Amino acid sequence: MARTVGIVGARGHTGAELIRLLAAHPGFELAAVSSRELDGQRVTEHVSGFHGELRYASLAHDELGSLGLDAWVLALPNGKSDACIASLAESGAEPVIVDLSADHRFDDDWYYGLPELTRDTYAGQRRIANPGCYASAMQLAVAPVRDLVEGPVQCFGVSGYSGAGTAPSDRNDADKLRDNLMPYALVDHLHEREVTRHLGTPVEFMPHVAPHFRGITLTANMHLRTPMERDAVEARYRERYRDEPLLRVTGDAPWVSRIAGHHGVEVGGFTLSADGRRLVVVATLDNLLKGAATQALQNLNLAFGYPEAEGIPLD
Ligand SMILES: NC(=O)C1=CN([C@@H]2O[C@H](COP(=O)(O)OP(=O)(O)OC[C@H]3O[C@@H](n4cnc5c(N)ncnc54)[C@H](OP(=O)(O)O)[C@@H]3O)[C@@H](O)[C@H]2O)C=CC1
Ligand SMILES: CC(=O)N[C@@H](CCC(=O)OP(=O)(O)O)C(=O)O
């Protein structure tokens, strides 16, 4: 029997991707999609590729529990998920909750779900914090050589403007972004702390937003304890990600234009300084997919015992 899932924050960029993925998944039934702005409107009018009669509903927090769903995905802005979580707990419902926001990525009571790096620590938790989009790219770019790295890793990131959500800001303003690359939060970005915590090595992160809609490119600069050769570095990455259906190791540096709309991550472009002590690696992923919705589906699959990549188009 299919497990029922609801989405709160379903109008947003990540919500739309989740709708597509969940609607096509054989083991899940998309049972409720909450949006205040689209209350009563048919999902088919807003999400291309979706078929069916489902309509958005503006659900009050205290209505969520009474729906008796098996899982809720919270795709709300940061700082908004706790009210839903508290209402669900008060109602006595104990659904699996996957939170796309940053609100529980630092909370040890929640499982931090970056499957390729953390699935071995999953112990049946029903509360899952979905990692950030840049944070996923950084961790996957560094993890295979983390034990060789000395000192902080510098990460230069560029995101498409869908990363800034739908609430109007400079970072999703088409006029301000035209012919532009917009630096922001150049120290102390939340993802800097998220990666430093979960990877266990300090990261210095410099994010930028660009005029394209979707996709992140992340360039990681690492200083190595002992000199390495390029082939050995690449072999390490290939070995680490050999059995990962969503990870592709490439010789050349991956391009963000080629990852948009795809569910996986590309890592490559391994480049060493002449003394073999400085390594640069590039990772790309689609912020709305592997950076958010696809990762949420991997986590739901894990929580309900389905194969982790079930319902995820692999290409
Ligand atoms: N965009 C991205 O690339 C990524 C986003 N994330 C995280 O996922 C979450 C969702 O992001 P994204 O889809 O981009 O966001 P959007 O801004 O596109 O959508 C936010 C959604 O939340 C609802 N919402 C907005 N404000 C409130 C509020 N005050 N109370 C209740 N509902 C509200 C909106 O619907 P309505 O107003 O109709 O109710 C909308 O559906 C965020 O926490 C973000 O940080 C994570 C990784 C990547
Ligand atoms: C371009 C842009 O603004 N990107 C967002 C990151 C995407 C996001 O939604 O943040 P989480 O992944 O932490 O949830 C930011 O820098 O805050």
pLDDT digits (tens, 9 = 90+) for 162-188: 999 999 999 999 999 999 999 999 999
Rounded to two decimals, the ipTM of the complex is: 0.97
Q: Which are the contacts of 187, defined by CB distance < 8 A and separation ≥ 6?
A: 204
Judged by its nearest atom, the ligand closest to the C-alpha of residue 41 is 1
Q: Which are the contacts of 232, defined by CB distance < 8 A and separation ≥ 6?
A: none
Helix (H, G, I), strand (E, B) or coil at 31: strand
For the chain, domains (ranges, CATH) are 3-131+291-304 (3.40.50.720), 133-287 (3.30.360.10)
Identify the pLDDT of residue 112.
98
DSSP for residue 145: G
Instruction: Cite the active site residues.
Output: 133
Model confidence over 233-281: pLDDT tens digits?
Answer: 999 999 999 999 999 999 999 999 999 999 999 999 999 999 999 999 9
Tokens read off for 13: 């960029």
Please give the distance of CA 6 from its chain centroid, rounded to a whole number: 18
Q: Which residue has the tokens 């709309």?
A: 261
- β-pairing, 3-8 vs 28-34, is parallel
Q: Could you tell me if the CB of 133 is within 6 A of ligand 2? A: yes
CA of 228 relative to ligand 1 center, distance in Å: 42
Identify the pLDDT of residue 1.
86
Q: Which are the contacts of 172, defined by CB distance < 8 A and separation ≥ 6?
A: 161, 162, 164, 165, 166, 209
DSSP state letters, 89-128: HHTT---EEEE-SSTTTT-TTSEE--HHHHGGG--S-SEE
pLDDT > 70: what percent of the chain? Answer: 100
Once rounded to an integer, what is the mean pLDDT over residues 132-157? 98
What is the number of residues in the chain? 315
Ligand 2, atom 11: closest residue by C-alpha: 132
Q: Which residues line ligand 1 (CB under 6 A)?
A: 9-15, 35-38, 75-78, 80, 100-101, 132-133, 162-163, 165-167, 287-288, 291-292
Spatial contact of 137 and 216, defined as CB atoms under 8 Å apart: yes
CB atoms under 10 Å from CB of 85, counted, come to 18
Helix (H, G, I), strand (E, B) or coil at 166: coil
Angle at which helices 13-23 and 294-304 cross, to 10°: 50
Spatial contact of 34 and 10, defined as CB atoms under 8 Å apart: yes
